[in-house]
Amino acid sequence: MQYNAGEIIGGKYRVEKLVGEGAFGEVYLATHLKLNAPRALKVLSRETPGVQMEFVPVPAGPFSMGSDPAVDKNADPSEQPQHQVMLSAYWIGKTEVTNRQYEAFVKATGHATLPDWKDGAARPARRMFRW
């Protein structure tokens, strides 16, 4: 479903224009009504044939981004310094995308597959890694 300029999404955002679209949704330039500030807004479509996913809300709040070398001996310099960022509320898949869901997505959209897939289909796992 595409939104038009001027439409309000979720009671919080006014759509300014469509800036991109893909197999799982659209990206809009929108204005946050309360903050009167521009935002990039991704609207997910749950209508890819053969792909059933359950999404759960993640509330807004602080997030520790990066690594602390005093806690993580494998912390990479590019991950430092660890700092707090505030995230807006968002939705995320309740579970990981399965190979069958990905395969249905590829067949429905013609999207390029991952390098280890052959002819748009999953190959059985050759080895499993344990962390």
Rounded to whole angstroms, the Cα distance separating 110 from 120 reads 9
Question: Number of structural domains, the chain?
Answer: 1
Contact by Cβ (8 Å): 68, 77: no
Q: pTM for the full model?
A: 0.48
**Residue 22 within any structural domain of the chain:** yes
58 domain-assigned = no
In this structure, is residue 16 part of a structural domain?
yes
Residue 10 inside a domain? The answer is yes
**Does the residue 32 lie in any domain?**
yes
Per-residue pLDDT 10s for the chain (131 aa) are: 688 999 998 888 999 999 887 766 788 899 999 999 998 887 776 566 666 777 788 899 999 999 999 999 999 999 999 999 998 888 888 888 887 777 877 777 777 777 777 665 666 655 555 55
**Is 41 part of a structural domain of the chain?**
yes
With beta carbons less than 8 A apart as the criterion, state whether 122 and 114 touch.
no
Find all residues with CB under 8 Å of 48, minimum gap 6, and list them.
23, 24, 104, 105, 108, 109
CATH at 41: 3.30.200.20
Residue 8 falls within a domain, yes or no? yes
**27 within a domain of the structure (yes/no):** yes
Reference 24, options 101, 120, 123; nearest CA is 101
Residue 40 lies in domain: 1-45
